[in-house]
Amino acid sequence: MALLEVKDMTQYFGGLCAVTDFSVTFAGGELMGLIGPNGAGKTTVFNLISGFYQPSCGDIVFKGTNTRGLKPNKVTGLGIARTFQNIRLWFDMSVLDNILVSQYYHLGYSLWDCFARSKRYLRREAEMRAWAMEILEALDLAQFADELPGNLPYGIQRRVEIARALSTKPDLLMLDEPAAGLNSSDVEGLIKLIAWIHKEFKLSIWMIEHQMDVVMSLCTWIKVIDFGATIAEGTPKEIRENPVVIKAYLGDDAI
């Protein structure tokens, strides 16, 4: 059974077709890229799959479950996590709290346990805390656990967001422009980090990115979309040399 199977997903916003007949299959363990010019609909695809929008038509089947109609928190609970184009951390909570709250779906205790500080509450809180610290240490962020994200440099904030997504124990991690706004040395660090996460956590990673060095060095398969439609897909080498792709990005004169 495929991990994620998307078939002919289409999204209309009023009269505008933002995504047309998008299909993709993840068997599990891939590192795939999604590229295309600005406004092509890449983030919309992520929004559809994570459950933030409901597709006008098409099927999204994740681990055998059809996710149409499921609320985003349920989709995340099933095992799809994502980061955002603009960092959306909770800036008035510590880094550790950011990670802890993301485990809400698997909280494992009720309001009454919370009031009574029952054994179950204490055990679960300790377990969640331990897991959060484990993730932070793995991503070299343990020293920032009690800091407010707003006080941290941008590159660290990006890493915290990735850590937060990882803490939900996903099988599919969707990264929306993880390298946006990073300087070149941070980008190198990011490439190493993503490669390491892919190997260490044994999950599928799907990445939207504009910086070609990140995409080409990490991804084994790339899909290209423009104006909502898939215009090409293949290995990095194939995509680099594909005239349709070049035209979409650079215009006719470049050919």
Partner 1 sequence: MKQYTIPALLALLLAVLVFVSMTGAMNVYWQSVLMFMGINIILSSSLNIINGNMGEFSCGHAGFMAVGAYVSSVLSVLLFAEGSVFGQALLPPHLAVFLFPFVLVAGGVAAALVGLLVAVPSFRTRGDYLAIITIAAAYIVKSTIENINAIGGARGFMGMSKVTAAMNTTAELPWMVIWVFLGTVFSVWLIRRFIFSTLGNGVNAVCQDEIAAEIMSVNTNQVKMTAFMVSCGLAGIAGALFAHVLGYVNPGSFTILKSTEVMVMVYLGGMGSLSGSVLSAILITLLMEALRPLQIIKWIVIPLLLVLLMQFRPEGIMGNRELSDIFPGLKKFYRLKG
Partner 2 sequence: MLQSFIQNIFNALQWGSFYSLIALGYCLVYGVLLLINFAHGDIFMVGAYIAFYVCMLFLGKFGIIPGMPGWLVLALAVPLTMMLTAVVGVTLERVAYRPLRRKGVNRLYVVITALMCGLILEHANLALLGASRRSFPTLIPTTVYNIAGVNITNIKMGVILVAILAFFFLRFVVVKTKIGMAMRAISYDRFAVPLMGIPADSVIVFTFVLGSGFAGLAGLLFAVTYPVLDPYMGALIGWKAFIAAVVGGIGSIRGAFAGGFLLGFVEIMVVAFFPSTLRDLIAFTILLLILSVKPTGLFGVARRTKI
> Which of 42, 82, 158, 159 touches partner 1 by CB under 8 A?
82
**Rounded to 5 degrees, what angle do the CA atoms 182, 36, 194 make?**
40
Nearer to partner 2, 141 or 157 (CB): 157
Q: For the chain, how many residues are written?
A: 255
Q: Is 76 in the site for partner 1 (CB under 8 A)?
A: yes
| Least separation in angstroms between CB 156 and partner 1 | 18
Return the HEC string of 113-160.
HHHHCCHHHHHHHHHHHHHHHHHHHHCCCHHHCCCCHHHCCHHHHHHH
Sign of CA dihedral 166, 101, 48, 212: negative
Nearer to partner 1, 63 or 247 (CB): 63
Site string for partner 1, 163-192 (x = CB under 8 A): -xx--x------------------------
Note whether 193 and 181 are within 8 A (CB): no
Provide the token pair at 118.
């029952």
Q: Which positions touch partner 2 (CB under 8 A)? A: 13, 43, 47, 52, 84-86, 88
The residues binding partner 1 (CB under 8 A) are 50-52, 71-73, 76-77, 81-82, 84, 88-93, 97, 100-107, 109, 111, 114-115, 117, 121-122, 125, 128, 164-165, 168
